[in-house]
Structure 1
Amino acid sequence: MIKSTYLFLTILICLALRTTIKAQDSNDHIFPPSAAAKPYIDFDSKGFLIEGKRTFIVSAGLEYARIPHQLWHDRLLRIKRAGFNCIEIYTIWNFHEAQEGKFDFTGDRDLNLFLKQVNDLGMYAIVRVGPYYCAEWDNGGYPIWLKFKKGLSVREDNPLFEKYVDRFFDRLLPIVMNNQVNKGGPVILVQLENEHPKGWGTIMPDGYFKHLQTKALSMGLQVPYFFSGLHHASDPAGDGKLDDAARPNPWFSTEFWSVWYSQYGAKPGDDQLYDRRTWKIIANGGNGYNYYMAHGGSNFGYTNNDEDAASYDYGAAIGQTGDLRPIYYAFKRAASFARSFQDVLENSVDNNAAYRKIVLDTALRVSARKSPAGEIVFLDNTSKEATTTQLHIDDNIAGSKITILPGEIYPLVHNYQLNPQVTLKWALTRVFAIVRQDNATTIITDAEAGSVLALYFKTSDKASTENPNVKVNGDEVSIKQVMPDANKPLEYTFKAGTQTIRVLAMNRALTDKTYIETINRKNYIVTGAAYLAEASVIGSQFTADIEQPLLAHQKEQVYVYTDKTAVLLNQIPSVTVNQPKTIALSNWEFKNASEQAAINYNAGKWLPSNNPVPMGADGDVTADAWYRTTLTTPVAGKYTLQVKGGGRGQAFVDGKPAAKWKLNDGELTLDLKKGKHTLAIFAAHDGRDKLAAYLGPIDEVDSKGVFGPALIKKGGPFISELSNWYFARANKISDVKQGPPTFDTTMFKPYKINTDVFNLKEGYGWFTTTIPQEPAGTSKITLQFKSVDENATVFINGKQVFKHDGWNQPFEVNITDATALKAPIRLAVFIENYSNEGGIDQPVKINAIGDAPAVTGWKMKGGPGDALAVKGWQKFTGKVKTNAPTFYRSTFTIPQAKGKTFIWRFEPKGLGHGSVWVNGHNIGRYPEKISITSLYIPECWLKTGPNQLVIYDEDGKQPDHTLIVAEQEAGRATTQTITDIK
């Protein structure tokens, strides 16, 4: 894989970034806070401090841009319930300034409201302000209008780019800065730029980085900040060596890739895999992490890039529709533990040597963290089998055995002070969480039936207990027994002075259903609930909404634990309503969406140009556009139209469909009669490239529609691909001065396009092939290079004719020598590779259309037309086959579901490419590019009674087989509880 093929799957690009972006590995530092913010957010080399308290940051990546604002609270609450204390977001530029100079921070774009909701839930925020984002988002987040600013280069010290960045930041940054934690908001960290090839952490390689820093500081940035990101990987802990004496700040991963955007839903093993990778961070000195993504969401409207369509589910812990996957509960266990022992983990040093002999089993690795607050020893079972091992511990604890699951990292807690009177001397059982409730401290453990429940305490005051399973021996207190098979928590308590220690022993099925809620500064433990939604306390009344999966809805025993007692919640049964699996769509109407191709269509208000211009030149941000012109053919026959393009196209001649083609092919053959013709071209695309790692001009990068000079010539086609390439290594760059060596197969070996011949190293080489002889009378041919990695010098028959520097940039070479064109031509390309992969990335094409007549006088207009128009609709009988862009409209009614959340999706069965609106909301593009084929309809966009569905099918396919389908696996049933907890 050659690094300049940025159109390939992002997973390959991101893997390449791990090798090309050296700054990420060499600098993971963070700029410190200002004096004003320091009391609120600070750090040292061992951990983060928020308001002076050691805080382990467990962050969830999501994008408010991918969630309707009516569902923000729901998704944020689900994240909080999983033990997260932080949210990480992008502030995507083209989401807020889609039209040049028109800023939108309202509704779904109300960043201030989103941050307020984060704050109201008691969570923090990490804000990544860009101006580049990636994120599998259209154009990487750049507004389309930037493409039409001549002289603009992105992500470089380019005054024009910086001018527009500053204008955006003038609107964006005040919102972010006013929400900094020292101003009462949730923002604790800010990231400038994103995954820049040159600068990560605190590296500022050029004036562009300095400009971003100066701008942010001048706008009031006071919390800690950094460039590009920190430790992006699917396994960011790597080999586990996270301590670094040279690093002045904590270890943190801003993108811990959990699953991937090519997946929908959970697959077996996800929870175990990412659970292990999370515990590697916790066990080896990491001070926090952010899962990208914890909730993926949807690409509504035209926001998807070319790798996605509507779904950005990501296989995440919280699904596209808000459903909870197995990985959710794995993340919750890790988060609950890390935050329970954050005063250890955020102030610790490596203590591995002290516990090297705690186990003798060679299948187990030992790591340990030591801090003034206590110690934690982690036993890492690297095998694929469960391992039962004897623990070799002093302190008069003998005969202790534990069983460690395959791949599990098992924590043992040692000498952890629970309160001034009680120290947890050893916890040999997994600790799920520690909860402090007034004068009570509750330890929630995770132990399966048949395993040993073993906890040992030391007290400074005399201890007492009424529980026979709690043994008191002077200042020693112990709980040791075989865990029984129990369907509710087992409770063990003792008192030391004024303090109560309570142990709630549960199996994993119960800890998965255990939530810790803080209401009016008091902590409550709710256990037995598949999910705890809203909860409140008024007087002595505890009210909670208990949610269960729709398909597993059954009454469960749910308890709430206060500091003194446990109370069974009284559940109010919900109304039984069955969700149908499908809802048929009928009574269809249709509307012509290709009237723009008609001969006498009035295009007077369209954007005029001599040559066609790329989509977006008129300010339109959709995935569709129309082009019109006229041409005259002297004689009837087959003609070839050549014009650069990107996406899909359909040509109409004199108002009638003529041909469909891939615009990237660059040419189209038409049968034309003699005379004047109206030519209309419909163009559409499936998302723009996200421009990962790209620096420089973007005016010609991944343009869509048709653009540049348009030529027409009788005959054709005229474009072909060069094949039979050969490669020979050169010793040094000066070899280019000698010209290409004589072709000899003993020296030159066959070469396949897009192959790295430099073995990821710097090097030089000759690439050669033969250009076949063109027909007599050919006066010009053009070589089209789409991507060469990195610098290329082109030779024709041994003579240098062209030099191009840079990768990811197309270029052309014209051959007009009459003598050369009369015979086959020897083409040679000398390539200089300076980093990583190198060679010819993409096929080289030869264009023999020569000096053909130009087609000029174009007009263009973006957009599909008015999808929500009231007029113009006709009854659809199924007999109309347009074979051209068409609107279809129908209505559907969904059953009421009091106490339940039914999840509905639109299934575009039988359709081609297009967009869908439900009640005026654009739910995204189809067809999907992942395993699920249907498009999620957010429940907040549905209503009681008729709901309107509008389809814009670019191919004119008929909607007869489309359906509204239920995703019953993601549905939820909610039961309200009201209980007196006195």
Structure 2
Amino acid sequence: MTHKPAEMTYDHRSFLLNGTRVFLNSAAVHYFRSPKEEWREVLMKAKLAGMNCIDTYFAWNVHEPNEGVWDFEGDRDCGAFLDLCAELVLWVIARPGPFICAEWDFGGFPWWLSGKEDVKFREYNEAYLHYVDIYFDKLIPLLRERQISSGGPVILVQVENEYGYLQADEQASRYMNYLRDGLISRGITVPLITCVGGAEGTVEGANFWSGADKHYVELRAKQPDAPKLVTEFWTGWFEHWGGSAASQKTASLYEKHFMEVIRAGFTGISHYMFYGGTNFNGYGGRTVGASDIFMVTSYDYNAPLNEYGRITDKYAAAKRLSYFLSAFQHLLLEAEEITAEEVRASKGITVRGRGLSRQKIWFVESRRDERATVNITLETGRTVPLSIAPGQIVPILDRVQIAEGVYLTSSALITGNEEVGGELTLFAAADRGQRSWIELEAEGLDILSHGLNMVYEIDPDRSALRLDLCHFEEPAIIRMMASKRSFRLVVLDQAAMNRLWRVNFHHDGAVHYVLGPDDMDTDSQGKVLGMMDDPDRSLIVLGGRGQGGIRYIGRDFMKQAPLAILPPVTLHSWESSRPAFVTDGVPESGQLVKQPVDFTRYGQDYGYLLYECDFENEEGGATNLMVPNLQDSARIYVNGEEQAIVRQLGAAGVRIQCAQGRNKLQMLIQHMGRLNFSPYLGESKGMKGPVYLGGEVMDIRRDWQAENEVIHLDEVRDPSDGPLLRRSFLPGSYDRAIIVGAVSRGLRVNGQEVLMEGYHDWFAFNTVDISQFVQPGQVNKIEMPYSAAPIHRLELLLWQSADELTGWRISGNEALRPRDWKLQQLGQGAAPAGNPVWYRCKFDKPTIPNSYHVRLKLRLTGMSKGFILLNGHHLGRYWQIGPQEDYKVPVIWLQEENELLLFDEAGHSPEHIRLLYDKPSIYPWFEIPLDGDGENDGDNGDVGGSATQF
């Protein structure tokens, strides 16, 4: 949908649309992390939550999966995504990269780019920028024609991404300026932004979760004439295989830090992520901090909207505060920080403010250890009671103008503040059973009606109306007159406020508020849909045609009741098949090489590589396998028997058992995702270079000598002054050596510095070849500054260069092809350990009425590691070491009969696999009438006599 062309500009306070200040409240949503059919609902949920903008990356590797092969169709149709944003009246912040990070494979670069000669990523490098220009030539026209100046939704475009984390020198400026000029020369005219590192002529934003004041001060010092924008407000965090669930950023902390952003004075915020989605097709990345931090398939991110598009407690917090922002953005966009010298607060309470003339908003923060009702005495001597929880920040409105001649002071959270159905409407919320205090100052104040027992007082001398309110579960509506204008105040508890929805996209263009549904959505025809888990709850619609409002009971619309049991999805007729390589090894189509090559050199993007060679062992028994360059998890087999699964990567030394005489070594390596952030982008995926038999693995975390103590780096330590650590080792006759793990910058071996270009200690991982510094047959000394403890890996690998294994055979995904399918007998337990197996089964699409919006997930209880295919769609990698247990199954990808395929590396039996519904699936949805006539336009018909107008 094309709109009237507009102009986006900015000054030191905010961005301006056609000269009018706007607060950019943006939801980060990545189109490439969900099916196209799910975009509308996700975007609508963002709009319903009060967001006015969408922030999205554009992933180069999604659009050019193979060199010169471009794809902008179906789920990759980013132009359609932008057009949908326009249709829903949502602005867009476009972030085309070329580097995007995003915990996305290779930071968005296409896999084949790592095989190009002389390419240096994210630098002013001619070979690299040649391909960037080709990418920009394809993508930027899609953005150019959708800029707001052309009637589209794109209001800002970002140059690169988080470059300040990497470097900030003259070369960095040259690189960033080249990308900036590349956007401008291709027709981008809207303001350009950057995040964490800037470029001349752009607005720099900050990325953070906490510390809003610090970031605001830094941005103001850098760019005093530019608006202050939070380009990424981290609503949650990513998860990686074998790590803990990312649940540390709770809803209450999210609300607190969101309020800190407002309090600091930022006039734009992008909630990263608002909806995370899923890393389908193996696109999850890898990040720094250890050698094996690989993203799980879910990118739920503990975001306000979960991976299945369901609302959460964090969504409710985002909606509450966004509605507050919207109601008072006119003040917040102009306000300056003010002192609270004349404001007095109870002990353990701090107060900061922002104000414009006589209008003020005080941000009250509790540092107490329990909820309390405290008193705040404002500058004029008025004392306001306030209920506040530990750590909470609550805004107090102090004589804020809400209409001509009408001023509001309130300790309740106020939203709305706009005309609805002919009345200026405000919503006042506090926790259930808590009290709040509200004062209105205006001429001609009077209470017309109210639906609750409340204490109020009209002070004719000050033309003031004071309300002492208690917040109940059932909403109450107070009608009053002020300055010859009709007002409506809806008193809610916080749970009811969470079920308040602002609707301004109905066919008549009017603003409505719907109070009562647990969740809401609209369909492509504009019908407003709701879901309620309590059929006896009131459903209130404000703003209906010719009516102030109408109250229903939820069951009036729910033709179906909540389902105690949804139709089970039965997985039947399981079959199994061994991949051919288990018995036959590398197929004839494989490559013969002297040394292993990586995925890119082999010519394969994702999936598996099988490496195989034969070797002789005179004595048999145990020995070590030394792999100096291994960048993905590997299963190692000798003579068909699994020896180990390798998780700690970079370089690895593995204990294996050999037979006397000839042995067959096989290594099955799954591509687990490339680094999405690092100065070392473009690492060799899989295995590369020589592999050796024999050698020694030494854990060198312990027994480091400092000046006056022995320090063990696997223990919690905090030595003062970051001492220099020393340690010795005897290499014997070994002539090759690698240190792998949490090496510190400043490493020295036998007095010689070991250069580690681009390395930062906080990466906590590096692989350093120190062979040239080692002196065989002597005591060797290692020195490095203390950086951190405890560390989880620091190993010294030693071996002889003469013991290299040669004569390798390599095969890609073709080695995994299944053969000889047979019926799988369930209940037999797992297959023998270390034998990969394919499994497939059929299941029917469940028959469920359209009024139930179900979501499906696959629970892989008892499985090991592998990947999932559904009707040809790649659902992603799985690895049952946590924290992910369930895997999203998009309902849109189901057919009447469905085929599910799993490749399981250890051949575990699928007997405990289940397809499950998420919890909200049991509740029916219904159409909500916004016309106020007591009837639905949909299938529910007349709601009957329980509807009450007011």
1:544 aligns to 2:528 (yes or no)? yes
The residue aligned with 1:57 is 24
For the pair 1:340 / 2:327, whether they are aligned, the reply is yes
In structure 1, which of residues 503, 517, 522 is the aligned counterpart of residue 503 of structure 2? 517
Note if contact 1:652-1:659 (Cα within 8 Å) is conserved in structure 2.
yes
Instruction: Tell me if 1:621 matches 2:573.
Output: no
Deviation at 1:827, TM superposition (A): 1.4
In structure 1, the partner of 2:854 is 902
Report the 3-state secondary structure (helix = DSSP H, G, I; strand = E; otherwise coil) of the residue aligned with 2:676: coil
Whether 1:885 aligns to 2:836 is yes
Equivalents in 2 of 1:375, 1:129: separation in Å? 39
Change in 2 beyond 3 A, CA 1:942/1:854: closer
Q: Which residue of the partner structure matches residue 557 of structure 1? A: 539
Aligned letter for 2:210?
D
Tell me, yes or no, if structure 1 residue 249 matches structure 2 residue 226.
yes
Deviations 1:847-899 (A, max 9, x none): 233412541353332467568xxx85322235794642221111223532221
Equivalences for 1:203-282 in 2 at 5 Å? 205-229=172-196, 230-238=205-213, 244=220, 247-262=224-239, 270-282=250-262
Residues in 2 aligned to 1:634 and 1:377: alpha-carbon distance in whole angstroms: 81
Q: 2:667 aligns with which of 671, 676, 681?
A: 681
- Which position in structure 1 is the counterpart of 2:120? 153
What's the offset of the Cα at 1:708? 0.4
Within 5 Å, give how 1:187-586 maps onto structure 2.
187-197=154-164, 205-229=172-196, 230-238=205-213, 244=220, 247-262=224-239, 270-305=250-285, 306-353=293-340, 356-371=341-356, 374-393=359-378, 400-419=384-403, 421-437=404-420, 440-447=423-430, 451-459=435-443, 466-467=448-449, 476=463, 478=465, 480-483=467-470, 485=472, 487-494=474-481, 496=483, 499-518=485-504, 519=506, 520-534=508-522, 544-549=528-533, 556-562=538-544, 564-568=547-551, 571-576=556-561, 577-580=563-566, 583-586=569-572
Alpha-carbon offset, residue 334 of structure 1: 0.9
> In percent, how many aligned pairs have the same letter?
21
State how far apart, in whole Å, the 1-side matches of 2:14 and 2:164 are.
27
1:265–1:325: 8 Å Cα contact kept in structure 2?
no
Q: Provide the alpha-carbon RMSD of the alignment.
A: 3.9
3-state SS of paired residue (1:707): coil
Alignment of 1:683-762 (within 5 A): 683-691=669-677, 694-696=678-680, 698-699=681-682, 701=683, 703-712=684-693, 716=694, 718-722=696-700, 725-728=703-706, 749-750=710-711, 752=713
Q: Give the Cα separation in 2 of the matches to 1:316 and 1:929.
A: 22
* Secondary structure at 1:612 match in 2: coil
Contact 2:587 2:815 in 1 (8 A): no
| Contact kept? 2:571, 2:841, Cα under 8 Å | yes
Match of 2:366, as an amino acid?
A: N
* 1:493-521 deviation per Cα after TM superposition (whole angstroms, max 9, x unaligned): 32645x53322232322222111111343
Q: Determine if contact 1:240/1:280 at 8 Å carries over to the other structure.
A: no
Query: Kindly tell me: are residues 578 and 749 of structure 1, through their superposed partners in 2, closer, same or farther at Cα, counting changes over 3 Å?
Result: closer
What is the aligned partner in structure 2 of residue 737 from structure 1?
none
TM-score by length of 1: 0.81
Shift of 1:452: 4.3
C-alpha spacing 1:853/1:343, structure 2 compared with 1 (3 Å): closer
| CA deviation after TM superposition for structure 1 residue 119, in Å | 1.9
Letter in 1 for 2:71: D
1:49-82 Cα offsets, whole Å, 9 max, x none, are: 2232221222222322222211111111112111
| 1:197-223 CA distance string (max 9 Å, x none) | 457999984321122112122122222
Question: Once the two structures are superposed, what CA deviation does each residue of 1:17-37 show, in whole Å capped at 9, x if it has no partner?
Answer: xxxxxxxxxxxxxxxxxxxx9
- Shift of residue 407, structure 1, vs aligned partner: 3.2
Q: Could you list the runs of 5+ residues in structure 2 that have no partner in the other structure?
A: 197-204, 286-292, 451-455, 760-764, 934-950
Out of 593, 606, 614, the residue aligned to residue 609 of structure 1 is: 593
- More divergent stretch after superposition (779-788 vs 96-105): 779-788
How far 1:958 moved relative to its partner? 1.7
Following superposition, the deviation at residue 613 of structure 1 comes to: 0.6
TM-score normalised by the chain length of structure 2: 0.83
Contact 2:538 2:552 in 1 (8 A): no
Q: Amino acid of the residue matched to residue 839 of structure 2?
A: Y
Segments of structure 1 that go 5 or more residues without pairing to the other structure are 1-36, 729-745
> Given that residues 44 and 88 in structure 2 are in contact (C-alpha distance below 8 angstroms), is that contact kept between their aligned partners in structure 1?
yes
Query: In the alignment, which residue of structure 2 is the partner of 1:587?
Result: 573
The total of aligned residue pairs comes to 885
How far, CA to CA, are the matches of 1:351 and 1:688 in structure 2?
48
Q: Is the 8 A contact 1:323 1:970 kept in 2?
A: no
| Distance 1:806-1:513 versus aligned 2 partners, 3 A rule | closer
Per-residue deviation at 1:912? Answer: 0.8
Residues 912, 464 of structure 1: alpha-carbon distance in 2 compared, 3 angstrom cutoff: closer
Given that 2:246 and 2:301 are in contact with CA atoms closer than 8 Å, whether structure 1 keeps it comes out as no
Alpha-carbon distance change, 104 to 514 in structure 1, aligned in 2, over 3 angstroms: same
Distance 2:156 2:612 in 1: 50
For 2:769, give the aligned amino acid.
E
| Corresponding residue for residue 810 of structure 2 | 859
One-letter amino acid of the counterpart of residue 357, structure 1: E
Distance verdict in 2 for CA 1:770–1:830, change over 3 Å: closer
**Residues 616 and 973 of structure 1, relative CA distance in 2, 3 Å threshold:** farther
- Please say if residues 722 and 846 of structure 1, whose CA atoms lie closer than 8 Å, have aligned partners that are also in contact: no
* Amino acid of the structure 2 residue aligned with 1:522: A
Amino acid at match of 2:704: Y
Secondary structure (helix, strand or coil) at the match of 1:981 reads coil
Q: Which moved more, 1:378-387 or 1:804-813?
A: 804-813
Aligned-partner Cα distance in 1 for 2:785–2:387: 57
Shift of 1:328: 1.5
Distance, in Å, in 1 between the alignment partners of 2:924 and 2:869 is 27
- CA shift, 1:118, in A, is 1.7
Deviates more, 1:467-476 or 1:680-689: 467-476
Residues 871 and 893 in structure 2, CA contact (< 8 A), matched pair in contact too: yes
Question: Per-residue displacement from partner, 1:394-433 (whole Å, max 9, x unpaired)?
Answer: 77x96654434443333333444434x4422434543122
Higher relative contact order (CA 8 A, sep 6+): 1
- Please state how far the C-alpha of 1:125 moved relative to its aligned partner: 1.8
Which aligned segments of 4 or more residues in structure 1 are displaced greater than 6 angstroms?
199-204, 263-269, 462-465, 535-538, 632-639, 753-761, 836-841
One-letter identity of the residue aligned with 2:873? H
Corresponding letter in the other structure for 1:258: T
SS for the counterpart of 1:213 is: helix
246-255 or 445-454: which moved more?
A: 445-454
Change beyond 3 A, Cα 1:38–1:844: farther
Aligned ranges for residues 164-175 of structure 1 at < 5 Å?
A: 164-175=131-142
Cα distance in 1 for partners of 2:350, 2:322 equals: 22
1:794 alignment partner, one of 744, 749, 755:
749
Give 1:179's aligned amino acid: R
Q: CA deviation at 1:809?
A: 5.3
The secondary structure found in structure 1 opposite 2:344 is coil
Q: What is the rounded CA distance, in whole Å, between the counterparts of 2:384 and 2:664 in structure 1?
A: 87
The CA deviation at 1:814 is 3.4
Tell me how far 1:175 sits from its aligned partner: 2.0
Q: Over residues 690-738 of structure 1, what are the superposed CA-to-partner deviations in whole Å (9 max), with x where a residue is unaligned?
A: 33xx225x45x3x4422202345xxx4544445765345xxxxxxxxxx
Give the stretch that moved more between structures: 322-331 or 962-971.
962-971
- Residues 98-177 of structure 1 correspond to what in structure 2 (within 5 A)? 98-177=65-144
